[in-house]
Amino acid sequence: MKKITVFFIALTFMGCSELQKVVNQLPQGGILTQEQIGNGLRQALDNGIQHQVTKLTSKDGFYKNDLVKILLPEELQAVDKGLRSIGLGNLADEGLKAINRTAEDAVKTATPIFVNAVKEITFNDAKNILLGADNAATSYLEGKTTSALYAEFNPVIKNSFSKVGADKIWSNLISKYNSIPFVKKVNPDLTDYVTTEALDGVFTMIAVEEKGIRNKVGLRNTALLRQVFALQDNR
């Protein structure tokens, strides 16, 4: 009642421009529901896919991005070292580049998988996620969807290995390494490894966007994002 009284007193003594400033400061729409907050979090994750994950699909999107560049697994570090020791450093470099090219191609093909995962996710405690860490929504998405995403993404990675020629490069590379006298022979499952690493890269880039939206008002490009993340600003 006091707020209403103050408003009408202001109406009496203020001009139109001054009055509009008062109106702009009044609460808009009251307390947001869990559903509204959840929708805002989905928009933030969608922005992560649109603005950040798409960067991974370009040439060198993984290979020249230190946040997500896929390095060799421990088993293959011996391969890398062994090849360089016999003057095949260029081949080792091509092998590293090839697995990153695979991820770049696969994410391009599989982007709808991530979009659908965001659409289908249910935020059971949206307010606590909103008020959580800078990557809370991304971490929640990761925890809820990784197993299902892996199952869908793994065959895409396998296809991309062949598409970009990484399978032939690595077959040649490992063959040459295994021919070095006295080395421990290797036969790694690169499809599994690159699938896991590529998924990690996708979630890393979504988290970059989420952090930006949480900390920079200018990145909140919809009315809902501004309304939802304003609650976080006041925590």
Q: Residue length, the chain?
A: 235
As a whole number, the mean pLDDT across the chain is 83
- Specify whether the CB–CB gap between 228 and 40 falls below 8 A: yes
**pLDDT value, residue 30:** 52
Q: Is the model more confident about 169 or about 116? A: 116
Lowest mean pLDDT among 1-10, 53-62, 65-74, 115-124: 1-10
- Specify whether the CB–CB gap between 70 and 99 falls below 8 A: yes
Q: pLDDT tens for residues 68-97?
A: 999 988 777 777 777 777 776 676 778 889
Confidence of residue 142 (pLDDT cuts 50, 70, 90): very high
pLDDT higher than 50, residue 52: yes
- Specify whether the CB–CB gap between 149 and 117 falls below 8 A: yes
Round to whole Å and give the CA distance between 198 and 177. Answer: 25
**pLDDT value, residue 77:** 77
> SS in 3 state form for the chain?
CHHHHHHHHHHHHCCHHHHHHHHHHCCCCCCCCHHHHHHHHHHHHHHHHHHHHHHHHCCCCCCCCCCCCCCCCHHHHHHHHHHHHCCCHHHHHHHHHHHHHHHHHHHHHHHHHHHHHHHHCCCCCHHHHHCCCCCHHHHHHHHHHHHHHHHHHHHHHHHHHHHCCHHHHHHHHHHHHHCCCCCCCCCCCHHHHHHHHHHHHHHHHHHHHHHHHHHCHHHCCCHHHHHHHHHHHCC
**pLDDT value, residue 185:** 77
Round to whole Å and give the CA distance between 226 and 235. Answer: 15
Q: Hey, what's the torsion of the CAs at 39, 41, 42, 45, to 10 degrees? A: 160
The residues near 172 (Cβ < 8 Å, ≥ 6 apart) are: 91
Round to whole Å and give the CA distance between 108 and 55. Answer: 9
Neighbours of 155 (CB within 10 A): 13
Q: pLDDT tens for residues 163-216?
A: 998 888 888 877 877 887 877 777 668 899 999 999 999 999 999 999 999 999
Whose structure tokens read 């032939």?
168
**pLDDT value, residue 180:** 79
